[in-house]
A and B are shown apart, each in its own frame.
Chain A
Amino acid sequence: MATDNRMAYVFTHPEARKVLHLLEKAKVGSYEQVRTALDLHPQEFQRIVHRLETFDLVWARAPKGAKWEGHRIKIAFELSPKGKALLEALHAMDQVMLAHREQLGPRTVDPLVVT
């Protein structure tokens, strides 16, 4: 059940997939990184990433060498192994969709397109 929910969420939320693609390239440790790469407001990013964390697709943790500064410590978001596996599954689905595009007919909106 958990796998189905994860897949359905990412499949129906293109912005979630964009976040996963960003994390596939590198860990994200600053909101500026998110704004530059995805043009997402920090609060929107937090909302999406929170959902992805609940699905165990994204992890937040202190990077190696991080230090507590009082009650605060730097963290970074990263793609979890489940997140990586889900992206691979979506890539495979993309290939199938492309192969059957003609039979499936024209679409006005393509949920699989990642900009």
Chain B
Amino acid sequence: MAVFLLGPSKWAQGYTPPTLPAWLNEHLPSGKPVGGHPSPLAIRRALATLLGFDGLKVVVMEAHDDVPGEPKAAKFARLARDERVTRFVLYWPFGANRSGLDVEIGFLIERLRRKEILGEDIRILIEDDGSKRRAGGREPGEDGAITFVSYEEGHRTGYYGDLVLYGTILPTWADYGELLELIVNIASD
């Protein structure tokens, strides 16, 4: 079983992400980070490396070579099939530029629509530290109902809302330790 770790590749312009913990920092891909901060893509790759040490198979699409002439959606489908992906995990940090995610989310929605996968096969891991970095979180509604609120206006992809409507699971994480623990628990049966 493998987990497909999707997510943004860049931070939104002007956003300064938090300093990464040393245990994650040391697994970042080599090379100087653009703008002085590791990108969300570099963080995903570091998480995949780290989880690999625990015997968990985590696929980051950008870490795999492109086949000449292959469209992005086809690469996504090929990796999901060849790596035997059973869970799709969407890393959703605060302050990221998510404009490039539409293809991946669209692919997931299409598979959901065809009932090839279920809502619970997809997790959107939403950063919520309870104060400054809140991509989304829970709040009581007017009638006492528990509601999920998306806090980042203008940072969502067009299809994100649809993904939630298909019953994807919406856990939150406050720091990278918690994020790692969450992925470990999702990936291990």
Contact B186 A61 (CB under 8 A): no
Compute the total of residue contacts between A and B using a CB distance below 8 Å.
Answer: 91
**Contacts A50-B172, A62-B165, A73-B164 given: A29-B185 contact, CB under 8 Å?**
no
**Contacts A56-B185, A75-B138 given: A68-B161 contact, CB under 8 Å?**
yes
Contacts of A53 in B (CB 8 A): 171-172, 182
Size category, B interface = 35 or more
A60 interfacial contact with B, CB 8 Å = yes
| Centre residue among A50, A61, A62, A77 by max chain B CB count within 10 A | A61
Interface size on A, residues (CB 8 A): 34
If over half of B's interface residues share one DSSP class (helix, strand or loop), that class is named, otherwise mixed; here it is: mixed
* B127-169 at interface with A (beta carbon < 8 Å): 138-141, 143-151, 153, 161, 164-165, 167-169
A48 interfacial contact with B, CB 8 Å = no
Q: How far is the CB of A43 from chain B (nearest CB, A)?
A: 11
Per-position contact with B for A62-89: 1 when CB-CB < 8 Å, else 0?
A: 1110111001111111001010000000
Contacts of A31 in B (CB 8 A): 140, 144, 146
Contact A77 B173 (CB under 8 A): no
**Contacts A2-B185, A54-B171 given: A71-B149 contact, CB under 8 Å?**
yes
Partner of A29, one of B146, B168, B170: B146
**Contacts A2-B184, A59-B120, A72-B139 given: A64-B167 contact, CB under 8 Å?**
yes
Contacts of B153 in A (CB 8 A): 71
B66 interfacial contact with A, CB 8 Å = no
Contacts of A72 in B (CB 8 A): 139, 141, 147-150
If over half of A's interface residues share one DSSP class (helix, strand or loop), that class is named, otherwise mixed; here it is: mixed
Contacts of B151 in A (CB 8 A): 71
A32 interfacial contact with B, CB 8 Å = yes
Q: Contacts A3-B188, A54-B173 given; 17 further ones with Cβ under 8 A? A: A28-B146, A29-B145, A31-B146, A32-B144, A46-B138, A53-B171, A54-B181, A54-B182, A54-B185, A60-B169, A60-B170, A61-B120, A61-B164, A71-B149, A73-B164, A74-B146, A75-B146
User: What would be 9 A-B contacts, judged by CB atoms less than 8 Å apart?
Assistant: A31-B146, A59-B169, A60-B138, A60-B171, A62-B164, A68-B164, A68-B165, A72-B141, A72-B149
A contacts, CB < 8 Å to B: 1-3, 6, 28-32, 42, 46, 50, 53-56, 59-64, 66-68, 71-77, 80, 82
